[in-house]
A = this chain, B = another copy of it.
Amino acid sequence: MPSPLVVQKFGGSSVAGADRIKRVARRIARERAAGHDLVVVVSAMGDTTDELLGLAAGITEDPDPRELDVLLATGEHQSATLVSMALHAIGVSAISLSGPQAGITTDGTYGRARIAGIEPRRVRTELEGGKVVIVAGFQGQSATSAIDQEITTLGRGGSDTTAVALAAALQADRCQIFTDVRGIFTADPRLVPMARQLPIVGYEEMLELAHQGAQVMQVRAVELGWINDIVIEVLSSFEDAPGTLIKEDPLVEQRNKVRGLAHDRNVAKVTVVAVPDRPGIARAIFDPLAAAGVNIDLIVQNVGHGGETDLSFTVPQVELGKAKKTLDPVVRELGARELTTDASVAKVSIVGAGLHNAPGYAARMFGTLADAGVNIEMISTSEVRITCMIAEDELETALRALHEAFELERPEPIEVAAAG
Contacts and interface: CB of A to CB of B under 8 A. Distances in A.
Interface stretch (A31-39, A65-73, A186-194): A65-73
A56 to B, nearest CB: 6
A121 interface: yes
A60 interface: yes
A103 interface: yes
A116 B58 CA distance: 37
Interface stretch (A81-89, A253-261, A330-338, A364-372): A81-89
A88 B60 contact: yes
Given A121-B147, A122-B148, A146-B144, A59 B86 contact: yes
Interface residues on A, range: 35 or more
A21 B146 contact: no
A55 B144 CA distance: 31
A119 B148 CA distance: 12
Contacts of A82: 55-56, 59, 67, 71
B18 A55 contact: yes
Contacts of A121: 147
Interface stretch (A94-102, A167-175, A197-205, A392-400): A94-102
Contacts of A62: 89
Contacts of A95: 66-67
Contacts of A148: 101, 122
A287 interface: no
23 contacts: A18-B58, A18-B59, A55-B82, A59-B86, A62-B89, A63-B88, A66-B95, A67-B88, A70-B77, A70-B80, A71-B77, A71-B78, A71-B81, A73-B77, A74-B77, A74-B78, A100-B146, A100-B147, A101-B146, A101-B149, A121-B147, A141-B146, A144-B146
Given A60-B88, A67-B88, 7 more contacts: A22-B59, A64-B85, A67-B82, A67-B95, A101-B147, A144-B146, A145-B146
